[in-house]
Chains A and B, each alone.
Chain A
Amino acid sequence: MNETMIIGLLLGSLAAMVPIVLTSVGAAISERAGVVNIGYEGILMLSAFFGTISAEITHSGWIGLLGGALTGLVLGVVHGVITVYLKGDHVIPGIGINLIGYGGVAFGILAYWGTAGQHQVPSYAQISPLWMDAFGNSLSPMVPITFVVAFIAWWLLFKTPFGLRIRAVGENPEAADALGINVELYRFTAVLIASALAGVAGAYLSVDWLGTVTKTIAAGRGFIALANMVFSGWDPLVALVGGFIFGFFDNLAIYIQNNPWLAGAIPWQFIATLPYLVTLIVVAGIIGRARPPKWDGIPYKRE
């Protein structure tokens, strides 16, 4: 192992942690407010797709991220209206949105670009890295931004009245309601923040990190992010740590597969299972101690 490899692995892990952290931070905010959403996988998919389209039209990767956020918002409105205002089940809409995501992106790639399964994002539509070395290792501006987002989310949740109310409607909506807090509005807002963050994460996949749109681009990261949220104890700062661990294994799998001398020793399929296996093990080790917000996933109806 030489220095370049270590730097490569480190930077790769940082790049891989971005979508996981952004999504889990959002999910933590949403669940703190009491709304479960398992549709982040679908949000990642669709915002990777629409993010690329907006980036290609405007020749700006940053507008691509914005397009991703908007895509997330639209899907968040759907989820929020069903769960918060219509008091529907919190899990089923996400199953539908995930299906729309996988089908819609495969459909969309063919319908919009005319290629099957995969589309390369042109460099003018990608976000240029902050730093890059001769070996192709690079650092995206989204890495520091992700750290900042996690800090802001933590500060909002635990240091501001807004955050107190978000947590109140997830922990004890009846008491919050009695204090005059608009339970539905806070829950809905939390859902929108979460979906928009996942939307940015999805667009990051295509217009920044991977530089391509594929029909399986999210590759389970929406669910890994949920596992990371549980790991973090619904705390955005801890989610950074977990995100780095998950990012490390996600990246390690890609790294080993791209290194034939390593890949020859073990079947690549075994390595590809790593991020998922680690997620299972970590979650199994942690959950006994993790306590979700009391009203997490339960619709609140005024008596």
Chain B
Amino acid sequence: MSFSDELRGYWKPLTESVLAILIGALVGAIVLWLSGYDAVAAYKALLEGAFLGGNFAETLSKSTPLMLTAITFAIGSRTGLFNIGAEGAVYFGAITAVGVTQVLQNPLTGVLAGLLVGALWMLPAAVLKVYRGVHEVISTIMLNWIAFYLAGWMALSVLANPENPNSTLPIPPGARLPLLVKNSTLSWAFIIAVLTAIVVYVIMWHTRLGYELRASGQNPRAAEYGGINPKAAVIWSFLIGGMTAGLAGAVQIMGIPPSYSISQGLANVYGYGFDGIGVSLVGRDHPLGIIFSGILFGALNAGATKMQQTGVPLEMVKVIEGIIIVAVAVPGLLDLFARLFRRGSQ
């Protein structure tokens, strides 16, 4: 397949994603209007908060963990799995990074330890799927809740900060990821996320392992005839997905000033796993698409803070994201619209 063919293949999913985003924005505006808010002012604030001046650094910073958790879902999806367990792996990636860097004070060990523990946390779901046939949606959701309470407990006990009851011990200065832009929260974490997306793209589309994962995702029986072990594919898919999710948790704490620590109730690592699902769906489960949809969702999250100042609750952006996903789920959205449009113009 030549590069231009590959590009042409992206055209339709891209326009469908854009269409879904527009639908999300439109329905979101209707919800805002019905709830008695000024939708225009809210959206204006949202856009300013996301793109104006230094705010764009915030958008990129907010997109970082989302890209990584989206890759978790995307790898699962390409392997025929609905892996929604990124959330739990993010918590443990963060916890591990804080713990390990207390002893080994350099960024690399923190990042690698987070990556490793993220993969380990996914292992039960993989084993249950392969050996017990437990559907991964159920196992990963249950594991997310278990992770929430266990990691929450570790944050308050093992890693408790004696000087600040509202957070864990901070990452020591020697193990923090350097900032890219002064007075922002944009750090090397963003570069790591983009590089990860590219590496995963290469693995999935240009290596034997990736081919085996995708083949068993499209048709496990045919893949098995072709000499691929679908069980191994499932386990690899969970492990690699766990790595990127654990990485998300680690860099989220190692790269975000000023606290460089996990807040009470896991507040600053909560929700990225769930949001990553949406990012992946809008990015059409493709690592390179995810870079762009990650920035879009990052913009929504960065802009939400500014939108809040107009009185609109922060969570409105989650509603918009949910509507975008439902719109993405409509098959042949573009064809549907084209048909409606043609009928309308007759």
Contacts and interface: CB of A to CB of B under 8 A. Distances in A.
Interface string A203-236: 0000000000001000010010011001000000
Interface residues of B, number: 47
Given A89-B331, A284-B132, A106 B326 contact: no
B14 interface: no
Contacts, number: 146
A87 to B, nearest CB: 6
A146 interface: no
Chain B at the A interface: SS class: helix
B328 interface: yes
B229 interface: no
Interface in A104-133: 104, 106-108, 110-112
B313 interface: yes
Interface string B315-342: 1111101111111111110001000000
Given A95-B278, A269-B153, A284-B128, A220 B322 contact: no
A111 B313 contact: yes
B327 to A, nearest CB: 8
Given A91-B137, A226-B138, A287-B133, A99 B153 contact: no
A277 interface: yes
Contact of A230 (B36, B135, B145, B325): B135
B152 A106 contact: no
A259 B155 CA distance: 23
Interface residues of A, number: 47
A93 interface: yes
Contact of A91 (B82, B278, B313): B82
Contacts of A98: 322
Interface in A268-284: 269-270, 272-273, 276-277, 279-280, 283-284
B141 interface: yes
B274 interface: yes
A91 B329 CA distance: 9
A93 B20 CA distance: 13
Contacts of B152: 269
A97 interface: yes
Contacts of B305: none
B150 interface: yes
B251 interface: no
12 contacts: A82-B326, A88-B331, A91-B137, A93-B325, A96-B326, A107-B315, A107-B318, A111-B37, A226-B138, A280-B142, A280-B143, A287-B133
